[in-house]
Every structure is written in structure tokens, then in C-alpha cells.
Amino acid sequence: MFNNANKNLTLSANLESLISVSKYTLFSQGFVSSFSDISLEGYRKILQGLVNDKKANEMAEKEKLRKAAEAAEQVRRQAETIERQAQEEARKRSVEEAKQKAELEKRKQEFERDYVVRNGVLIGYRRMWEIVNIPNYITAIGDYAFSKHEPDRSHLSKLTGWQREVAEREITLGLESHRNIRVVKGVSVPSSVKTIGKHAFSNCSSLTQVEIWNGVEIIDDSAFSSCNALQKITIPNSVKHIGNNAFGWCGNIRSVVIGGRVASIGGSTFIGCENLSWMTIGDNVQTIGNGAFAICKKLSSIQIKQSVKFVGKEAFSGWDKSQKIKIYATEKETKAWDKKWRKGCNATIEFGYRGFSDFDDLY
């Protein structure tokens, strides 16, 4: 009992001492307006309020720390989720790439059962199909790859005996295989192919559809010559050069679009395209070869852009008075062209033309 009393006295004394010491502090902090006597209970409330404020601040700080920890944990979890998603995407890509690689290898094997490929160049065929979808690992179509042509026999005169017999047998087998060229009706040339070789599709008499993807840069000499079933062709912007006779004597071709990067049109490129009725030439063409548009009887008009610096002889041979050649250059500027570029041409020629586009010629 005495111990409890002593404890209470001690606590009371300590509180009185604390109150006494804290008076100035309480006054300086604005908790009291003067050093006038305040009851013990009043000081208790003030001090308790300070303690409560401290606890509240501590709790608020703890809450801030807790929320910060939760936010950090959330960020960590989000980072883990993003990493897992990235790993899953990478795994899926890897699986997809493996599938594509396997599919490409399968297609490659299937394609090369029917066609002959060496170092990425398609050079011939073993068996022909109506539609030829060239896979995108092919980088070029070799000379005479699909064409029906007569073989060179000049070397036979230099051979005798068994050597000549073997050479003649090879020629006979070659001719037999080329009879199947009539089967081809459509071909798709992918962007991986940079060059379509000489005579690649010449004399493909049943070829009606040709799709050339943007990426091909050169259409070589006679590439599609004498493809009489072909009715239209679009030459993509990637093509820079069209070779001699590339589409010569395609008697049923009706429309041609020449892409904007073509710099040169070879000699006789469209010679004998008697049903060609509409054509647009890109703004980058600089050279038009000899006889390039000769005997294009149904082409009502053609525009020769300012970019053209040279036109070869007889470029428009066979044109009559009903046809028009609209030339952006002045007559003086055409002095650098071949002196015989007009030979055989009776078309109406307009120099210094300033039309809007090739589509004007439709109206």
C-alpha cells in the first residue's frame, strides 16, 4: 500500500516537474498565451495532445512507409509479370520462327522436287504446274528457266562418235521437257528475286497472269517475249532496268504500268504489242531504246516525260496519224535523241506537253 502511494507521489512529482520545465516551451510554441497558472489537468491535456500528435505523426509515417512498401511490391510484381510476358513472347517467337523455318525447309524441298535450284537461282524445272509460286529464298530466275526454246546445236559439229550421240540425246530430252511449258498459266515472283533472267518466260504461250513483287530490280532481255496470252503487266517501283525485247510480241497485252524507278527501257521492249491500248511510264525513265514501242497499233497516245534524255531510232515505228506522242521536252531538247527516232512514225507529235498525267489519255 505504501509502495503504491509512493509511486503515485513520484509520478505526480515527475509530472509537476515536467510541467514546470515545459512552461516556456508551451508558451513559445503557442500552446498557452501566458505563464499564468494552469491547472494540472489542463497541462495534462496539453501534454497528452502533444503525445497524441506525435503518435499520429508516427502512425502517419508508418502508413506512408507501408504504402510505399506496397507500391514497391506492386512495381516488383508488375516487373515480374512484364518479364514473364516478355519471356513468353520470346518463347512464342522462337517457336513461330522454328515453325516458319521448318515450313520454309519443307516448301523448299517440295519446290526443288519439281524445279532446279542452284545457289538460290532458279535455273529450270523437272515438272511443270499451271501456277508457279516461287518461294522467297530464290534470289534470281536464271536465263531460259521456263522458256520454250530451241537448243543451241552449233557445238555438235565439233563432236564425233559416242560424244555426239550423248549430246544429241541430251538435246532431245531437253526438248521433251520443254514441251510442258504450255502448262504454265500464272507465276508469282517474290520480292527476294532481284533479277528475272534472259528468256526466263519467253514463249510461255498459256501464261496469262504475272505478279512481280516490289524488290525485283532487273527484267532482262526477252524475259517475257512472245507470251501471247498475257494481257496486263505492272512493273513495280523497285525495277531499274527493262531489257531488250522484254515484252516484245506479246500480242494480247492490253495495259502496262512502268514503275517510278525504271531508268532505262531497252530496245524493242514492247515491239509488236498490237493490242496494247494503255500505258503509263514512270518519271525516272532516261533512256528509251531502238524500236521500244514499234508496232503498238492500238496505243492511242503516250507521254514521254521530261526525265527522258535519249530515244533510240525507230522507237515508234508503225504508228499512224490517229496516234499521239506527247513529249514534255521541247523540240530543241530532243536534238540529243537519235536522228532516226521518228523514222517509220506518222503519229501526231506534241512537244513541250504539260499534261497532268498519263490518265489524261483515257479521256
Q: What is the DSSP string of 157-172?
A: GG--HHHHHHHHHHHH
Determine contact, residues 279/298, Cβ cutoff 8 Å: no
Q: Is 145 exposed, middle or buried (0-12, 13-18, 19+ CB in 10 A)?
A: buried
Residue 149: what pLDDT? 46
Residue 174: what pLDDT? 46
DSSP, collapsed to helix, strand or coil, labels residue 79 as: helix
Residue 11: what pLDDT? 46
Amino acid occupying residue 341: W
Please give the order of strands across the beta sheet that includes 324-327: 301-304, 324-327, 348-350
Measured from the Cβ of residue 305, the count of other Cβ atoms closer than 10 Å reads 17
pTM for the full model? Answer: 0.67
Cell of 48: 497528452
Q: Which helix H or strand E contains 124, and what residues bound it?
A: strand 121-125
Determine contact, residues 230/254, Cβ cutoff 8 Å: no
CA distances from 147 to 28, 176, 200, 205, 261 (A): 107, 13, 6, 10, 27
Q: Is 1 exposed, middle or buried (0-12, 13-18, 19+ CB in 10 A)?
A: exposed
Amino acid occupying residue 38: I
Residue 104: what pLDDT? 82
Give average pLDDT by consecutive 10-residue segment, the chain, 363 residues: 47 53 54 54 67 77 85 90 92 91 87 88 82 92 74 56 58 46 85 94 91 96 92 96 95 95 96 94 95 95 95 96 96 96 96 71 42
Residue 8: what pLDDT? 46
